[in-house]
Structure 1
Amino acid sequence: MSDSAKPNRPIYDLDMLRTLVMVADCGSFTTAAARLHSTQSTVSQKVRRLEEMVGQQLLDRSNREVHPTDAGETLLGYARHLLAVSNQLTEAMSGGITVTVRIGLPDDFVAGKTMQALAAFNRKNPKVKLEITGGLSRDLMTTYDRGELDLVLVKQRRHSREAVACQPERIDWLDSAQFPCFVQDPIPLVTFPPRGLYRDDMINAIEAMGRNWRIGFTSSSLAGIQEAVANGLGVSLLPHRVVTAAHRILGAEEGFKPITVFEAAIFHRPTADSMVKALAQILSDILRSEAD
């Protein structure tokens, strides 16, 4: 058969296949666009062009979460295979491929044994690039939900959201060892901003004791909170791991009950690659070691 007599066959563009896989894995055009560092309209156009090419609908958009159709599931199987072969070819030709893992950590984990463990992992896996972001748990989860982080460790109320791994978090009431504030009336409080973790629990506990309170210091910085308490600007509620010699732990003698409603939780997507899962295991081991 001459070339002119052969039927036209679609040539599958890897970029379009990668886009389809990302949308299917994320269940959302918006999240997929964020992970691909693209716009939602561009992602939608690529999927539509692919659907026009094969002559079938590949994604069911009727529900809030996007799901592949039967034809989409078939194409996704081949797409994943082609993308894997493409990655293998790139690795073979370049002598190795660099994988980037984007990690989000609360400020109290951006130090000490966590950084030591991540650095050790990086030394053993030099082709893995770690991008680590520190911040408030609520901000990290928002960034994760937008698809801009691959792995996060955050603080949350226990069992509020299903996680890959979690561990109850020990929280302490802290006062200054040198300049105690608990005896003041009203009690000055050192807190994270409104909606920040622990803030409402602090206020509710103080009111339950029949004590008056005022906000003495507010900061988004964990270091700022630690220093404010140490220097006598107020009482605060913080993870046990950040207690220093400049702090005094308040307990039953002062009328405080233990706070047991928080946990440290680890999240990654079900489709996460082996490096993300290995890093999640490292973080999980750190949480368990703290509980022992």
Structure 2
Amino acid sequence: MASLDVESVRAFVAIADLQSFTRAAEALGATQGAISVKLRRLEERIGQRLIERTPRHVRLSAHGAVFLDRARDFLAAHDAALSALASATPRRFVLGIAAHVAGPELPALLAQLNAHDPGLRIEVRLENSRTLLDAFDRGELDACIIRREDDRRDGEVLSPEHFGWFASPNFEHRQGEPLRLAALSPSCGVRDIATRALDEAGIAWTEVFLGGGSSAVAAAVSAGLAVAIFSCRLAPPGAIEIGERLRLPRLPSSEIVLHSTLTDLKSRAALRTLAAAFREHRARSGSR
């Protein structure tokens, strides 16, 4: 009976989950070529094609679909056996995620991270990007996912971030009056983008709603009280982009970056899984 190579099975599961050889390689910290070789060896070992690959799509074959759950069980048993031998206390992983970056996919991302390494004790902190970056620099966070701040060029780029002016369809702006603006807090970098753009365009504005978190700002926008700047992907349901209608200035794009100080191999592997999953969710949401 053929025996299974753990890393080849792990490569197969990553390809199946992420539907991409490239993203699977990122998640496992390997090259795309190495991932392809591992999959080919696994298929040769069991004598069945597991993945169907075309120039546009990566999908499970019929045999791959049957094998996938068993492959997960195999990896879980392997990892559980190793974990049982480990005498170290659970590793603590403090992750900061910017409030304007975290989207509806956040629970799925954290669940995927936990499934990858159950021995990792995950603690999550939601704040604005500037606050999280300061905390990271002070050593209070192991990693953070934030909007790039100012001219700081370090960090791993996860995706671009595009902003827009959003308001309720029934929002009314009276000519000659300052634009009513809702924002997160005075220290929020996204707020700075909005106010700087308005000042440079010579448009008067006033803050009628400040602070309370992103959900509170979204509520103010949905109620028709004010305009707010949002990532185009995370605008409140029902809100519309009104920049062109009100002749508001174009907003500069930014980038979502990952900062990390993790050095041990297991934690780095977990972080690669998180980064790959984040890119995958962003790619899917961008295609809708």
Task: Identify the TM-score tier after normalising by the shorter chain.
Answer: 0.5 to 0.7
1:108 and 1:241 in contact (8 A); partners too = no
- Which protein has the larger Cα radius of gyration, Structure 1 or Structure 2? 1
Q: How far apart, CA to CA, are the structure 2 residues paired with 1:131 and 1:276?
A: 16
1:246 alignment partner, one of 238, 241, 249: 238
Q: Match of 1:237?
A: 229
Q: Match of 1:165?
A: 157
Q: Match of 2:99?
A: 107
- Aligned residue for 1:232, secondary structure, equals coil
The residue type equivalent to 2:92 in the other structure is: T
Q: How far apart, CA to CA, are the structure 1 residues paired with 2:208 and 2:256?
A: 27
The percentage of aligned residue pairs carrying the same residue is: 21
* Unaligned 5+ runs, structure 2: 1-82
Q: How far apart, CA to CA, are the structure 1 residues paired with 2:181 and 2:133?
A: 26
Q: How far apart, CA to CA, are the structure 1 residues paired with 2:254 and 2:155?
A: 13
- Per-residue CA distance 1:212-254 (angstroms, 9 max, x = gap): 2111111151111111111122111111222123312123343
Q: Match of 1:129?
A: 121
Runs of 4+ in 1 over 3 A off after TM superposition: 90-94, 108-111, 179-184, 207-210
Q: Match of 2:139?
A: 147
Q: Mean alpha-carbon deviation: is it higher for 260-269 or for 108-117? A: 108-117
1:192 alignment partner, one of 161, 184, 190: 184
1:269 alignment partner, one of 241, 261, 264: 261
Q: How far apart, CA to CA, are the structure 2 residues paired with 1:115 and 1:127?
A: 18
1:219 alignment partner, one of 207, 211, 219: 211
Q: Match of 2:199?
A: 207
2:182 and 2:207 in contact (8 A); partners too = yes
**CA pair 203-234 structure 1, distance change in 2 beyond 3 A:** same
The residue type equivalent to 1:165 in the other structure is: V
Q: How far apart, CA to CA, are the structure 2 residues paired with 1:272 and 1:258?
A: 43
Q: Give how far 1:131 is off.
A: 0.9
| Coordinate RMSD, CA, aligned | 2.9
The residue type equivalent to 2:266 in the other structure is: S
- Per-residue CA distance 1:92-119 (angstroms, 9 max, x = gap): 464x752221111112444522320221
Q: Give how far 1:284 is off.
A: 4.7
The residue type equivalent to 2:110 in the other structure is: L
2:180 and 2:205 in contact (8 A); partners too = yes
TM-score normalized by the length of structure 2 = 0.61
State how many pairs are aligned. Answer: 203
- Aligned residue for 1:229, secondary structure, equals helix
**CA pair 284-203 structure 1, distance change in 2 beyond 3 A:** same
Q: Give how far 1:179 is off.
A: 3.2
Q: Match of 1:116?
A: 108
Q: How far apart, CA to CA, are the structure 1 residues paired with 2:235 and 2:219?
A: 11
